[in-house]
Structures are given as C-alpha cells and as structure tokens.
A and B are shown apart, each in its own frame.
Chain A
Amino acid sequence: MRIEGSAGTGGMAATSNGVQVIDIAGLTLTFDTADGPVYALSNVDLTISEGEFVSFIGPSGCGKTTLLRVIADLERPTGGHIRVNGVSPEEARLRRDYGYVFQSPALYPWRTIEKNVMLPLEIFGLPKAERRERARTFLELVNLKGFERKFPWQLSGGMQQRASIARALSFDPRLLLMDEPFGALDEIVRDHLNEQLLRLWGKTGKTVLFVTHSIPEAVFLSTKIVVMSPRPGRIIDVIDCDLPRERTLDIRETPAFLAIAHRVRDGLRAGHSYED
C-alpha cells in the first residue's frame, strides 16, 4: 500500500534511528492582526514517538488547529524549535510525510467524490488502475460506497467530511493530522468511524495527531491526550492513556476509562478557570 520513492520512507528511516516523529520545544506563534497581536501558541513543548495516537483537546480558539498547521508547514512559527520526522516541517511537507484532514472538507466542487479522493494520487503520479482501486477501498472504509459519482455539494456535511478522510487516507501517509474529523457526524457513525480508525491505526502503525472536542472520543482512541488552554495557547497537561491497545466500544464503561476521562475533564476545567 505504501507509496515508494521520496514520500515517507525517509521519515521511517529517521524514526527507526530513535528520532521522534514530532519534536517541539518552546514553540510560539503570534498572529499580528489589526487589533494587535493574538498569542495563538505560547511556549509549547511536545514530543511524539512513532506509532502513537495523540489527541488534542481544549476550548475553542486555544490553538489546536494552529499547532497542527505549524506541524504541516501551513503556518510559520514565530519562535521555538520544531522537527517533523527529524527534519524541518517544510522538508517533511515536500517529501509528503503527512496526510491532513482539515476542519472543513475542502472538496473541489467540480470533481466527483471519487475524483476528489483520487486527487492526491493523481498528483503523486500513481497509475490509473491503482487510483481507482484505492478510492474504492477507502470510500468503502468510510461508508460512502455508492456515492463515487456524486458531486460534493450533493452530499451532506458529514458525508463530505468522510470523503475528505478517505482522501487523506488514500495515499497511506505515515503521519496523519486530523482536525476534528468527526465533528460533523452523528453519534452512531462517529462510533463506527472511531472503531475503523482504531483498527486502521493498529494495523498500519501510523502516527496520528487528532483534534477533538469529545472527551470519550479522545480517551477511546488515544495513547496520549494533550490538554490545551487558550490565550495564550498552551499545553496544560499531557495524560497517558494506558488502556490496552485492542479496544472495543464497551471499554467506555470501565473504571479505568472513566478515571482517565475524569482527569481530562479536570484539566479542561482548570484551563477554563485560568481564562477568567
């Protein structure tokens, strides 16, 4: 399934030498706006190893999207140190180390759903038959079978978001950056996709950075939960989530699960009171 060549392989080699997938120290980002500076990220330290599933949780506007965008080289930090797979974010982006699921679907309206999913594969130069095959596989994975020939605007918001997830998965990146990918979905579909994502992660050993507003979702999916607080955007707690790797949805009723969820909630509360 992997794409050979420059994409990804370099990163693998680097991480197996003991380099962290994400290595961030003292990272700051200040937006200069007309109403003065906005401190979106302030002094963020974070390391993430290969194969981890890290959730980011925190109140709206605390800089979760900004942090993901810095890692993806879509935003330049104003200070601090950042390495992705041992190289600068720009180099990591240029060698196509990551797949990004944006907070909104960003599908191109002139392309069918299938063609949208095949867009990165087209750009990476995969043969046509393989593009078809992968689009089919991943559209099935996100339950969009039968909608291949529809256009994005003929689908509901949640379906569009699922198509954008299929698009990010289609080229099998080692690093997945997902910004509230399941925010627009109903509870049942969300549960289903949580399980699918967990299974995919278990099978492929990808590193996943996952932004969410849902505490149960964060605890269910993650090996590590990063709690953030706003103004300035900081990390206030990193919680290890040492539940067994093989998880089913029933785990959400267990005491171990609830204990972790409790700790996340306390962290979020502390962040909120800090703001007042």
Chain B
Amino acid sequence: MTTRIPITILSGYLGAGKTTIINRLLSGDHGRRVAVLVNDFGAVNIDASLIETEDDNTISLTNGCVCCSIGDDLGAALDAQAARHIPPENILLEASGVAEPKRIATHVGFWPGFELDALIVAADAETVRNRANDKFVGQLVRSQIRHADIIALTKTDLVGPEAARGVKAWLRNQVPNARIFEAPNGTLPVALAFGADRASNALSGPVEPAPHSHLRTVMCVPGTGLSRAGLARAIEALPSSVHRVKGFFRDLETGRMTLLQCVGRRHEFLEAPTDTETVLVLIGVGSDTEMNGAMDLLTASDALEADPKSTFAARISD
C-alpha cells in the first residue's frame, strides 16, 4: 500500500480562473490538511483572519492548510512539503499557464514520494473557444483541455446559461466524454479536487457533504468480489457525469484486496492491505438515477468472464 502524497494539478491557461479556485479552496473549511503550491504568491488573496503565520514563501492557515510558492525548482518545492513535520494529506499544485499538462503530470506524478491524483484544467467559458483558436496558444490550450481528467468550467455566470451550454457542447466535441464541472465563481468542492477521503478506513465512514448541490456522492458495499477486467470496461462506459470513482474490492482473479482509483477517463488498480473493507464511492454531477445506474454498472462486474467482451456487451444491453 502506497504512502505517497497525492497531487492534484490545477492547470489552465492565463485568466482561466486558477487563482480564484485556489483562494476559495484555501479559505474553505473542509477539514483536510492541504498544501497548495502556487506560482505567483502575490496573487493569493486570503482573508487575514484565516492566516495563522506568514513569511516570504509560506502562508499557514487556521484550517490546517498551507500555501507555498513554487519558486524555480518544482522538485525542491515538493521535497520541502514531504519534509514538513506533519506532511500534507493532499497537494494542490498550480501549473504554470504555459505548462503542457502531460509533461507536468509526469514530472510531479513520478516525483519520489508523490503520485498523481487528478489533473484538473480550468477553462474560462468566456474565452476558451477563442484561445483554442489563437495562433500562438491554440495548440497549447487544446492540449490542456484534451489531457484534463476534469475540466473546471469557470465564469459560466458571466456568459449566461445558453452560452455556457454552447461551450460545454464545444468541449465535448473536443474531448468526447469530457468530465466537466461548472465552477461559476471558482468553487471547486474538495471531494472533486482530492477525491473521497484518502485513508482507507475513512472511506467507509461518512463521506463529506458536498457544499455544492450539484456534486453528488454515491457509496455502495458490493456483496461479492469484482473482476478487474469487468470494472475497467464498466469505467469506460460510465456517463460523463461521473467524475471520480474510488473503491476497495476483492479481485476475483487473484482474491486480493485491490484499490481502484479513477479520475475522469483515467483509472488504475493498486494493491491494497488485506484487512481493508470493501466499498465503492462515486463522485459526480449526475442525477440520482444516473449515479445509481453508474454504480450498478460497476458492481455488475462480479463474475469471471470466459470471453469478457461479449459477456460484457450482453450485460449492458439487458
């Protein structure tokens, strides 16, 4: 079982709303020890009453979070977090506006002692389409969107519902099955940014209530073991309203406890401690019916399949 610190990358081109997202996340009362690593320390703007201490490149907050500037050595900034007396549970890393997301995800996701949790790309409903066609940055902006696990669509309040629908349709056209989360005023729920609570046992406890009405969490304890291959295919068939899946299950093939982590369209299976309790948690923006349907899809992967493809096709068609 891994003890690496998970990193959520917040990418997006200039003006996409990353700083607002960061300011809100830092000020929120969410009960997690998060370290936020930012490029521009000067742009961080937090209510003074929340600040415990502040020095040249670190702000400590009363809610247990810290905000640090990255400086010119990303690895050193990560090492400094790992070396803290009490290391953070999660790291939110603000990527530079011109960073190729794939590259930064590889850089920090494989940095010794760390792992990639999610790549969230902020896109500004007002300007993203123009930017995506810009002569100088169009390729970069399209690449950022394409590589996102979750797209945080900001400033939708400024463009009105119809234009926001238009942008979403355009995004889906760029990235089939894109996971889009509307964050009109820059609020990114903690469960979306960092997933269900990380500690294995906490998964079976109450999942944090999402402050946002449209973010839903659905939990289920599958009665049987599940098949990895079946899960992998079920994940591919999930509706785009499911943004995250996390769970522990007994692998039917090996009989071992296994951790499933899925953010957006990307998933991985990891070995889990044998005494972990079985549970699956879904986080998304779908309706109750949609979310429950998604859960059913996942928990149906409960048989070893002789010919997985055809069995699977049969299952989803009935």
Indicate, yes or no, whether A interacts with B: no
